[in-house]
């Protein structure tokens, strides 16, 4: 049995007009033209669009409060990578029952992305299946290539073509090499097969993505501490790449224990105050704490169905602490008192 998917052009009308501006802002933060801190925060993977939009509304309010110090981006992930099996995300399985109704998934998922963008937030998305990228890419302001796919040539080629900054996660083993190679590969031009907006396979041609960068997500051993960040900066420098990274407070850096995320954020905030070349922080957060049994029927809309997340009430103090750290780093840069002055390649001002 074959199910016919709509072509991307059939579902990609109505993109939010702010996406291009959001992409430029994220790019400016990564390049230190904008002195603020990037904070990518939200659920591990969206399973209930209505509840996720409730969360987006809360986050949009916080983003406005901290806008002088943070560029807050909503995790709007609709695909879930798997090492073996399990629910693969709302886009391929919107009914949460393994039926794989992709046609409904791309339509409802697209609607969610547009509604989420209407809150004024930039959107983040992890690109798991390159074939599905044309259905969502025009709504996304920050993209990710995950730890399981960072060594994949098709994903590196996709990243070179995507018109937004893309973070490359270190691999599950914790090794940085594949992610650094992925950054270099994404910066180059490629010609590769891909789905066109008309639904036909075409030769896609990219000129390279200048905003590919490293995401430290830990492995068997965390890599968010100052020594690990410094090592990562050295590896990037040796490869001739900009010394910048986003630190993921979850996954290997928290041992997938959401209760450890605040400690990771506190450590990274201290590094930021000292001027470390941390361009951003990623937090897995949702309406309520923890994760539910993925077999629960019906699924609880307010609790993550995949990785455990921090609840909203525990997330707000982390945003406040990161805003304070970002503000202090900017002030220290203006005064010339940063310990790691080399990390800020462009002089910062209060503008």
Q: Which helix (H) or strand (E) holds 235?
A: helix 226-238
Across all residues in the chain, what is the average pLDDT? 93
Q: Under a CB-based contact definition with an 8 Å cutoff, are residues 47 and 287 in contact?
A: no
Predicted confidence at residue 348, as pLDDT, reads 30
| SS3 labels along 87-113 | CCCCCCCCCCCCCCCHHHHHHHHHHHH
Cα–Cα distance, 108 to 126 (Å, whole number): 17
Predicted confidence at residue 110, as pLDDT, reads 94
The model's confidence at residue 337, banded by pLDDT at 50, 70 and 90, is low
Cα–Cα distance, 234 to 327 (Å, whole number): 25
Between strands 190-195 and 201-206, the pairing is antiparallel
Please report, rounded to a whole number, the percentage of residues in the chain having pLDDT higher than 90: 87
For 248-292, write each residue's pLDDT tens digit: 999 999 999 999 999 999 999 999 999 998 999 999 999 999 999
Q: Under a CB-based contact definition with an 8 Å cutoff, are residues 301 and 50 in contact?
A: yes
Q: Under a CB-based contact definition with an 8 Å cutoff, are residues 194 and 226 in contact?
A: no
Beta-carbon contacts of 2 under 8 Å, excluding residues fewer than 6 positions away, are none
Higher pLDDT, 188 or 344: 188
Is 50 exceeded by the pLDDT of residue 114? yes
Predicted confidence at residue 332, as pLDDT, reads 83
Is 50 exceeded by the pLDDT of residue 133? yes
Predicted confidence at residue 85, as pLDDT, reads 84
Mean local confidence (pLDDT), 120-139: 96
The model's confidence at residue 342, banded by pLDDT at 50, 70 and 90, is very low
Q: Under a CB-based contact definition with an 8 Å cutoff, are residues 52 and 304 in contact?
A: no
For 188-233, write each residue's pLDDT tens digit: 999 999 999 889 999 999 999 999 999 999 999 999 999 999 999 9
* Of 165, 151, 156, 176, nearest in space to 234 by CA: 176
Is 90 exceeded by the pLDDT of residue 238? yes
The model's confidence at residue 347, banded by pLDDT at 50, 70 and 90, is very low
Beta strands in the chain (DSSP E): 37-42, 70-75, 123-126, 142-145, 166-169, 190-195, 201-206, 212-216, 245-248, 278-284
Predicted confidence at residue 302, as pLDDT, reads 98
Cα–Cα distance, 143 to 100 (Å, whole number): 24
Cα–Cα distance, 295 to 11 (Å, whole number): 30
Is 60 exceeded by the pLDDT of residue 343? no
Q: Which helix (H) or strand (E) holds 192?
A: strand 190-195
Q: Which domains does the chain have, with CATH numbers?
A: 35-332 (3.20.20.70)
* Of 89, 259, 73, 78, nearest in space to 166 by CA: 73
Q: Which two tokens stand for residue 307?
A: 């990785």
The model's confidence at residue 310, banded by pLDDT at 50, 70 and 90, is very high
Please report, rounded to a whole number, the percentage of residues in the chain having pLDDT higher than 70: 95
DSSP state of 161: H
For 144-172, write each residue's pLDDT tens digit: 999 999 999 999 999 999 999 999 999 99
Predicted TM-score (pTM) of the model is 0.94
Residue position matching structure tokens 């579902």:
11
Cα–Cα distance, 272 to 258 (Å, whole number): 22
Cα–Cα distance, 319 to 57 (Å, whole number): 15
Burial of 333 (0-12, 13-18, 19+ CB in 10 A): buried
Predicted confidence at residue 164, as pLDDT, reads 98
């Amino acid at each position: 049995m074959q199910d016919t998917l709509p072509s991307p052009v059939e579902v990609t009308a109505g993109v939010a007009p702010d996406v291009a501006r959001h992409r430029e802002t994220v790019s400016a933060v990564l390049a230190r033209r904008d002195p603020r801190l990037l904070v990518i925060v939200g659920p591990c993977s969206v399973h209930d669009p209505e509840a996720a939009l409730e969360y987006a509304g809360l986050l949009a309010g916080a983003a406005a409060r901290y806008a002088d110090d943070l560029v807050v981006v909503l995790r709007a992930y609709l695909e879930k990578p798997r090492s073996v099996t399990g629910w693969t995300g709302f886009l391929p399985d919107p009914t949460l029952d393994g039926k794989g109704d992709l046609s409904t998934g791309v339509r409802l998922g697209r609607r969610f992305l547009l509604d989420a963008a209407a809150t004024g937030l930039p959107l983040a998305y992890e690109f798991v299946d390159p074939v599905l990228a044309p259905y969502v890419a025009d709504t996304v302001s920050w993209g990710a290539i995950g730890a399981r796919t960072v060594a994949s040539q098709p994903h590196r080629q996709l990243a070179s073509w995507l018109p937004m900054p893309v973070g490359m996660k270190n691999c599950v083993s914790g090794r940085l090499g594949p992610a650094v190679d992925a950054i270099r590969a994404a910066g180059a031009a490629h010609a590769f097969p891909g789905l066109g907006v008309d639904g036909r396979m075409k030769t896609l041609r990219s000129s390279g993505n200048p905003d590919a960068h490293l995401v430290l997500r830990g492995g068997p051993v965390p890599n968010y501490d100052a020594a690990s960040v410094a090592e990562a900066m050295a590896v990037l420098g040796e490869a001739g790449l900009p010394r910048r990274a986003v630190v993921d407070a979850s996954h290997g850096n928290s041992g997938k224990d959401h209760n450890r995320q605040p400690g990771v954020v506190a450590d990274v905030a201290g590094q930021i105050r000292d001027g470390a070349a941390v361009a951003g922080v990623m937090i897995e957060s949702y309406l309520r704490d923890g994760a539910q049994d993925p077999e629960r029927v019906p699924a609880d809309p307010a609790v993550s169905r995949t990785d455990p997340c921090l609840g909203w009430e525990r997330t707000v103090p982390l945003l406040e602490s990161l805003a304070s750290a970002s503000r202090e780093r900017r002030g220290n840069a203006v005064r010339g008192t940063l310990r790691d002055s080399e990390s800020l390649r462009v002089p910062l001002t209060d503008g």
